[in-house]
Structures are given as structure tokens and as C-alpha cells.
Amino acid sequence: MSPRGTLHLLIGPVGAGKTTYAQRRVTRSPAVFLDLDVWMVRLFGADPRPPEGVMAWYLERRERCRGVLWDLTLGVLACGTDVVLEIGLLGQQERQAFYERARSEGLELVVHLLDAPRATCRERVARRNQSSGPFTQRVPPEIFERAYDAWEPPTEEERAAWAIVDE
């Protein structure tokens, strides 16, 4: 049996530099970058949004993508290739559930934290919105503020339990 790859989970607020970090990382080592935003834009970006309940619409699709990304992650890791994964785990409870899931699979997990002040993230997202490619998640200012507010930085307990690496 070949050795499994390592799962590198990226966490941080919107605009903190997770995608840039991942793109650089995969050029330096054999790894696959799996990014929820790319999947969401490619699969659902052109779909009409409902006039009401757009958040429920988004969350349902996000969970479907996360499920496929998880299955793909397990397959890639089983082949001995590292995975750099960014799936928008903003809250402590959802991260804890993810960590436990990785543990239950016996995965080697490295958690990388990328963080930046709100103003820096806001500026990066505004630049990305103006100069992005066809499968880049565009984040309107009001959605940026909501998403940044939803970010829960890791507690000292979370950091210690999972040896979170500050990037």
C-alpha cells in the first residue's frame, strides 16, 4: 500500500490570501489545490438566484460542493498526493467538525491560517473583483462585510489542539 498524502487545510477570512498561498505552494511541491470558490463559480455562477432565500440557495450548493470536494480529497490523498484544500470554514464549530472528520479517516492534517486586517482583505477583494478571470468568485462589498464578520479566528485551544501554522 502506498503512503497517503497530507491534507493541508487553509483557513482564514475572505481576502486573506488563501488562494494566492495555495497557488504558490502547489508550484513548489506535488500537490493538488481544491478550492470551493472555483467549483461554486464554475457550477453555479451563471445560474439565476432566487428573488428570496438566496442564502439558503447558496448554502445548499456549497454543501453539495463540499461533499464532492471531500470525496475527491480522499481519493487524491489515497494516491499519495498532498491536497491543499480551501472550503470556506469560517466558524469554529464547522472547523472542529472538519478536524474530527479528518481524524476519523486517519488523515495527516496540517492547518494553515492566513489572516489579515479587514481593510487589507477588503482592498484585495475589490482588486480581485476588478481583475479576475472567468472562474473567480466575485464578492460584492456587502457580501464581503458579512463574510468577514462571520470569520471566527481560532482560539488558543483550537490552535494547540491542531498545531495551526500561521502563514
Domains of the chain are: 6-166 (3.40.50.300)
Asked whether the predicted pLDDT for residue 85 surpasses 80, the reply is yes
Asked whether the predicted pLDDT for residue 42 surpasses 60, the reply is yes
Using pLDDT thresholds of 50, 70 and 90, give the confidence band for residue 156.
Answer: very high
Asked whether the predicted pLDDT for residue 9 surpasses 90, the reply is yes
Residues 28, 30, 33: CA angle, nearest 5 degrees: 90
Task: Give 53 or 36, the one with higher predicted confidence.
Answer: 36
pLDDT tens digits for 129-142? Answer: 887 666 677 788 88
